[in-house]
A = this chain, B = another copy of it.
Amino acid sequence: SRSIRLAVIPGDGIGQEVVAQGLKVLSAALPQDVKLETQSYDLGAQHWHATGETLPDADLESLKNHDAILLGAIGDPSVPSGVLERGLLLKLRFAFDHYVNLRPSKLFPNTPTPLAGRPDIDFVVVREGTEGPYVGNGGSMRTGTPAEVATEVSLNTAYGVERVVRDAYERAHARPRKKLTLVHKNNVLVHAGHLWKNIFDRVGQEYPEVTTDYLHVDAATIFFVTQPERFDVIVTDNLFGDILTDLAAAVTGGIGLAASGNINPSGAFPSMFEPVHGSAPDIAGTGKADPTATVLSVALLLSHLGYGDEAARIEAAVAEDLAGRDAAAPRTTDEIGDALAARVSG
C-alpha cells in the first residue's frame, strides 16, 4: 500500500491557517489506499524567539526523511528582516538543492485582475532556486560608518544554469505551445548574462520544436502587463524570478492564488511546496486569508509525487470555486477550505 510522508512547516502569521486548509484538501483528494503521515515542525518566529534558532540541525536531518514538505509562510515583524528568510526558508531551498522554483500563473475566469481587457494568461515561471544573488555571498566593511562598503555577489555556474534550463525546456516541450523565454539582463550583467544565454542557446539545439526568445528583465515587466498572453514558459535567474512571479501573481488574481514548488528533480532531497504569499501578520487569525494558493501548492505537490489525477482534481475544484466566487460575499479561510475539500471529494 502507498504512503506519503509529509513534513509540514506551518510557520508564521497566516501560515497555520492556510496550511490547515491545504491538508484538509489533500486528505480529501488522496485515494483511500494512500496513507498520509504528517509530521509538523514548529519553526519560525516563535521558535526563534524561544531558542535563537532558525533551523536546528536535527530538524534539517529529520526533514530529509519525508517525501515532501508543505510550508505555510515565514516572517514576522518582531524578527529582524532576513533572519528567518535566510536562516530558514532559503536555508531549506539551498540545503535541499531546490533548483527548480516552479511558479505557474493562470488567470482563472471570474478572478479579479488589475488588467483591463482580461488577457488570456497561462504561463509558468521556472525560477532558478540555488544560485544568483541569493547565495548569501556578500558582506560589509566599516559597517554603520560613512565609509561603509556593502557587497552582494551573484554566483552563477554552468552546472547550475544548465540543469534548470534543461528542466524548463522539458516543461516547454510538454506544453501545447512549446515556447520558452529566457529573461535576464545580459546587456548589463554581461558575465552572468552570457553564461545564461549561451547555455540557453546550446541546450535549445536539442529541442528544435521549442520556440525560444530572450527578454531583458525590464522589458519583460512591460509585457507582463501589456501582453502576458505571449508567455508560455519562462526561465530566469533567482532574483529576476522572485520579482517577476510577484508581478505575475498580481495580474492573475493576486498572491492569494499563487502557488509554488521548490523542486529537487533528482529526488535526492524532499521538494517543498508553499504559497508565494508571505505571513501577512496584519490579517493573521482573522479568517480573512485565502487558502487557495496553499491548496494549489498541494496540487503541485501531488503532481510532483506522481498523483497527477488528484492534482488535476484539485485544480478543477479551485477553478470551479473561483468561478462561483462573489466579491460581495467573502468567505472565511475555513469556509473556502471546506468548499474546496467538498468539491474534491464529491
Q: Which residues of A contact B (CB under 8 A)?
A: 75, 81-82, 85-86, 90, 113-117, 133-134, 136, 138-140, 142-159, 162, 185-195, 197-198, 217-219, 221-222, 224-226, 239, 242-247, 249-251, 254-255
| Bound CA span A209–B68, Å | 50
How many identical chains are in the complex? 2
A14 to chain B, nearest CB (A): 16
Cβ B222 vs Cβ A243 within 8 A: no
Pair B153/A148 contact, Cβ less than 8 Å: no
**Cα distance A198–B142 in the bound complex, in angstroms:** 13
Find A194's partner among B116, B140, B147, B225 (CB 8 Å cutoff).
B140
Interface hub of A146, A189, A195 (most chain B Cβ within 10 A): A189
Q: A154-B152, A242-B218, A247-B247 are in contact. Are A188 and B86 (CB under 8 A)?
A: yes
Q: Which residues of B contact A194 (CB under 8 A)?
A: 82, 140, 150
Q: List residues of chain B with CB within 8 A of the CB of A162.
A: 146
Given that A193-B81, A255-B222 are contacting pairs, would A147 and B133 also be in contact in the complex, using a CB cutoff of 8 Å? Answer: no
Contact partners of A190 in chain B: CB under 8 A: 81-82, 86, 136, 138
Which one of B136, B143, B159, B187 contacts A146 once the chains associate, using CB atoms below 8 Å?
Answer: B159
Q: For A189, what are the chain B residues with a Cβ–Cβ distance below 8 Å?
A: 133, 138, 152
